[in-house]
Amino acid sequence: MTRVVVKVGGAVAAGSADVVLGHVEAGSEVVVVHGAGPQISAELARRGIATEFVHGLRVTSPETVAVVRESLVAVGVVLAETLGPSAVPLVGDEIGLRARQLPELGLVGEPIPCRPPAIEQALAAGLIPVVAPIAEGPLNVNADDAASALAIGLGADRIVFVTDVPGVYVEGALADRIEAGQADRMLAEGAFEGGIVPKLLAAVRAAKLGLRAEIGATEVLA
């Protein structure tokens, strides 16, 4: 049976059910990893907590990581309800999602490939694990990186990034596919900016390890 990890951004979580359920209906085991970027930013602003990013990662204090966790849990519950009774929300720091702390960013971690038993048990029971990517600590981890690390650790065949853009644009045109080497060169040259950068980095990492990786309509090839 094919195993697929679907990463859903916080901005598109509500509209992602068709993509996730489409993979289930095709006979795949599906693990969902979701973000909550807009929700986290909105809640931090509501509480008057300043937000700072370094290389696309949110500098995270103890106060901030509490908001990150709360927001991720809330999005996961709603997403699981949207997917139906076969979906079960799981919280990363409760199921053994591990990360290496990046002290210069505070309570931020770089996720480590792992195979949490709770995810395997959910899949074996025919369920859809919906994972909030907060690592043990707790540590705030980038959801794209968490999805890639879980896909690698779980031995997935495929990782799909569902986002609010159609895919990867190369020289102004939407690319059907992009090779990992080309993506590496373009990333090093600063050809991409914004949210596509962590997605492309995570997809390249997965593709190099043999997974089929897709960002929207663009396939990333090893």
Query: 140, 149, 90: which is closest to 115 by C-alpha?
Result: 149
CATH at residue 93: 3.40.1160.10
Position 79 in a domain: yes
What pLDDT score was predicted for residue 31?
98
Q: What angle do CA 175, 180, 183 make, to 5 degrees?
A: 60
Q: How far apart are CA 135 and CA 25, in angstroms?
A: 30
Q: What is the pLDDT of residue 22?
A: 94
- Is 114 within a domain? yes
Answer yes or no: is 181 within a domain.
Answer: no
In a domain, 212, yes or no: no
3-class DSSP assignment, residue 138: coil
Number of domains in the chain: 1
- The answer to whether residues 144 and 198 touch, using CB atoms and an 8 Å cutoff, is yes
Strand partners, 26: none
Beta bridge partners of 53: 58
98: containing domain: 26-142
The predicted pLDDT at position 107 comes to: 96
pTM value surpassing 0.85? yes
- Residue 215, token pair as written in the block: 């960002």
Count of C-beta atoms within a 10 Å radius of residue 173: 8
pLDDT at site 222: 84
Looking at the DSSP bridge assignments, the partners of residue 58 are 53
Q: Please report the pLDDT score of residue 164 as a whole number.
A: 83
pLDDT < 70 regions, the chain: 13-14
- Assigned domain for 1 exists: no
